[in-house]
Amino acid sequence: MVLNTIRDANFDNKKVVIRVDFNVPIKEGKVTDNTRIKAALPTIKYLLEKGASLVVMSHRGRPNGKKSEEFSMAPIAKEFSTLLGLEVKLAPDVLGPEVAKMVKDLKKGQVLLLENLRFYIEETDNDVEYAKTLASYGDIYVNDAFGTAHRAHASTEGIAHYLPSYAGFLIEKEVKFLDPLLSNPEKPFVAIIGGSKVSSKITVLESLSKTCNTIVIGGGMAYTFLKVQGYNIGKSLLEEDYLDTAKSFLAKAKERGVKVILPLDHVCAATFAEDATPIAVDAPGIEGDLIGMDIGPKTIAAIVAEVKSAKSVVWNGPMGVFEFDAFSEGTKKVALALAECKGITVVGGGDSVAAINKFGLADKVSHVSTGGGASLEFLEGKTLPGIKALEKKMRRIYIAGNWKMNLTPSEGVKLAKELAEAVKGCNAKVMVAPNYVSLPAVVEALKDSDIIVAAQNMNDHLSGAFTGEVSPLMLKDLGVNTVILGHSERRAIYGESNELINKKVLLALAEGMDIVLCIGETLEEREGGKLEEVLTTQVNEGLKSVTVKQMAKITLAYEPVWAIGTGKTASPEDADDAHALVRSKIEKLFNKTVAEETIIQYGGSVKAANVKELMAKENIDGALVGGAALSVANFLPIVAFDK
């Protein structure tokens, strides 16, 4: 998993909308534990140092969509301001003209804290309009609230559809430590899973068993596993509905060669009470009416031995009722073992974090997760919406300017030179496609630039009696190795068929050229419900006989012809849906990897006003720009949309 992080963006003079987790305990109007606020300060200070102004968002408690003084962010604003050493203005609301004005008036280096996001039910409903309003408050979105990343809320997932989105330092660190445990952990890898119920941890067990060498099962959930192995468990916690599940897990673990450690002995009690007398049971089974409350010394020794030799350890869930001091020894000794381990040690889950904090060992492990439910779901292998929204596209953004039959050679050279200087430092791959008479001069003007020069079309023959036509050999001789094929105007005005376009595609590939292959439906086709039929045909026919290897040379450009010059517009959602459809057709033709790696540009009237929202979409990887490409003033904001 590779994320866009705040190290990847330019924040100078930008308004940044940042989601943090300031859901902290408050008593008598004062913050009683400011740990979460302190945890967000490195990201916040970094953004301010880089020249940003900040619109800070968080929830507090569960107001369930109703405004309430009880859940106001006012006490948090005071504590935040003190810790930051900077005045933090508190907005009177999340929405409304007064808030919009406060956002608009924000100056570089200033901080505004919005009221409780959950004063509106639209937040937890991930309402589109609510997310759009939040997005309107900034140029860039940053998420540093890992504890809420498992929720698809407007401020954690919805907003990322409308702004360039980046992870703060907290989220970056969480993913850095948690992701390898599921993908490629250093081995030996030991997973220590505790807690009260099998039902709440079975998915974690199943997920981790795919990558770990040893799994330790402790806490109340262990007794269900002991039961299926034929041991008596006294009056200990038992989930009868999960006996078959436990049995199945043990069988799968054995099949995978994963060592499973269950309690070898116990510390029990006659009653579940803090002042109960500890009773040692030197066996896996528990007789009579005793209740298992903690693991015994044999089990502790077995766990410590595994942890000592481990290169990766994850701990989620206590080994017993650690809240009661008489039954906390097992959990404490596990915490100490992690603290002494020389490998990577990760603690996740609310109870485990509480335990390691209780014993004062948090600074002795590699990473203590800030998100209870989020870290649990991450370890379960689930997709966290708030994290997914921050994933870096492995496909580089590709912005192409098609000059069509505009600009004389001298005008083209002037624009080319201006562009070469203007796009320096931009992250996007940039291409321009001049008219034929301008090609030689523009190629010369851009020879020392990273800008690609492409042809707008070519013939389907290398040579011959084709008056007025240009062959790929001619283009290559000029130093032009990229060509646009199948443009909507050539399909509509010159009647180019899918068969002809495919001949050009195959010829260009045979000559080692890169291709931008255009596809798209007309207004009549779209209104006639033929979108999928048209795109499927154009993809299948246009890429006929193309090999998997050759697909690396092809970029697709989806052009909704009906959105060009008709007064009608394609929403970013419409565009992304069409791109996803095209990607699915590529996968069917080739494979999933090819589909994921193929760049698909959008060619439906892209401009400075809509480029951020379009490029934030998962399946849109760039733009094929027409009129807006004819001046630096209009083209540069599209190329440098993320600056």
> Is pLDDT of 238 > 80?
yes
Q: Poorest-confidence range of 474-478, 531-535, 570-574?
A: 570-574
Asked if residues 501 and 459 have their Cβ atoms less than 8 Å apart, the reply is: no
Q: Strands 88-90, 111-113: parallel, antiparallel or unpaired by DSSP?
A: parallel
The residue from 123, 306, 496, 559 that is catalytic is 559
pLDDT, tens digit, 9 for 90 and up, residues 422-464: 998 888 999 999 999 999 999 999 999 999 999 999 999 999 9
483 in helix, strand or coil?
A: strand
Distances 140 to 16, 435, 641 between C-alpha atoms, Å: 5, 36, 10
> Is pLDDT of 569 > 70?
no
> Is pLDDT of 361 > 80?
yes
DSSP 8-state secondary structure symbol assigned to residue 545: T
Alpha-carbon distance of 587 to 585, in angstroms, equals 5
Report residue 227's pLDDT band, with 50, 70 and 90 as the boundaries.
very high
Question: What pLDDT score does 382 carry?
Answer: 87
Higher pLDDT, 354 or 186: 186
Percent of the chain with pLDDT over 70: 99
Catalytic-residue membership of 255: no
Asked if residues 519 and 490 have their Cβ atoms less than 8 Å apart, the reply is: no
> Is pLDDT of 92 > 70?
yes
What DSSP letter does each residue of 571-588 carry, written as one string? -HHHHHHHHHHHHHHHHH
Chain length of the chain: 643
Please choose, from the candidates 2, 69, 8, 75, the residue with its C-alpha nearest in 3D space to the C-alpha of residue 37.
75
Q: Poorest-confidence range of 5-19, 225-239, 367-381, 556-570?
A: 556-570
> With b meaning 16 or more CB within 10 Å and e meaning fewer, what string describes 592-611?
eebbeebbbbbbbbbeeebb
- Tell me, which fold does domain 398-407+423-432+454-626 have in CATH? TIM Barrel (3.20.20)
pLDDT, tens digit, 9 for 90 and up, residues 71-89: 999 999 999 999 999 999 9
Geometric angle at alpha carbon 432, from 427 and 436, rounded to 5°: 165
User: What CATH superfamily classification does 176-388 receive?
Assistant: Phosphoglycerate kinase, N-terminal domain (3.40.50.1260)
Question: What pLDDT score does 356 carry?
Answer: 87
> With b meaning 16 or more CB within 10 Å and e meaning fewer, what string describes 328-356?
bbbbbbbbbbbbebebbbbbbbbbbbebb
Report residue 375's pLDDT band, with 50, 70 and 90 as the boundaries.
confident
The residue from 487, 489, 579, 613 that is catalytic is 487
Q: Poorest-confidence range of 5-9, 34-38, 569-573, 636-640?
A: 569-573
Question: What pLDDT score does 309 carry?
Answer: 94
pLDDT, tens digit, 9 for 90 and up, residues 571-622: 888 899 999 999 999 999 998 889 989 999 999 888 898 898 899 888 999 9
Alpha-carbon distance of 565 to 581, in angstroms, equals 24
Question: What pLDDT score does 351 carry?
Answer: 81
The token duo for 34 is 């400011």
Angle between helices 169-183 and 198-208 (to 10 degrees): 70
Count the helix, strand and coil residues of the chain and give each as a percent rounded to the nearest 5: 45, 15, 40
Please choose, from the candidates 451, 432, 439, 502, the residue with its C-alpha nearest in 3D space to the C-alpha of residue 476.
439
The token duo for 592 is 């999933």
Question: What pLDDT score does 567 carry?
Answer: 60
Question: Domain limits of the chain?
Answer: 6-167, 176-388, 398-407+423-432+454-626
What DSSP letter does each residue of 159-214 carry, written as one string? GGGTS-EEE-HHHHHHHHHHHHHHH---SSEEEEE-SS-HHHHHHHHHHHTTT-SE
> Is pLDDT of 44 > 90?
yes
Alpha-carbon distance of 259 to 190, in angstroms, equals 9
Catalytic-residue membership of 59: no
Alpha-carbon distance of 124 to 121, in angstroms, equals 6
Question: What pLDDT score does 50 carry?
Answer: 96
Asked if residues 555 and 516 have their Cβ atoms less than 8 Å apart, the reply is: yes
Geometric angle at alpha carbon 362, from 85 and 370, rounded to 5°: 65
Residues 6+ apart with CB under 8 A from 323: 274
Alpha-carbon distance of 556 to 518, in angstroms, equals 6
Please choose, from the candidates 246, 240, 260, 236, the residue with its C-alpha nearest in 3D space to the C-alpha of residue 321.
236
Alpha-carbon distance of 535 to 539, in angstroms, equals 6
CATH fold match for the domains 6-167 and 176-388: yes
What's the CATH number for 6-167? 3.40.50.1260
The token duo for 390 is 């921050």
Question: What pLDDT score does 561 carry?
Answer: 85
Alpha-carbon distance of 247 to 253, in angstroms, equals 10
pLDDT, tens digit, 9 for 90 and up, residues 4-24: 899 988 899 999 999 999 999
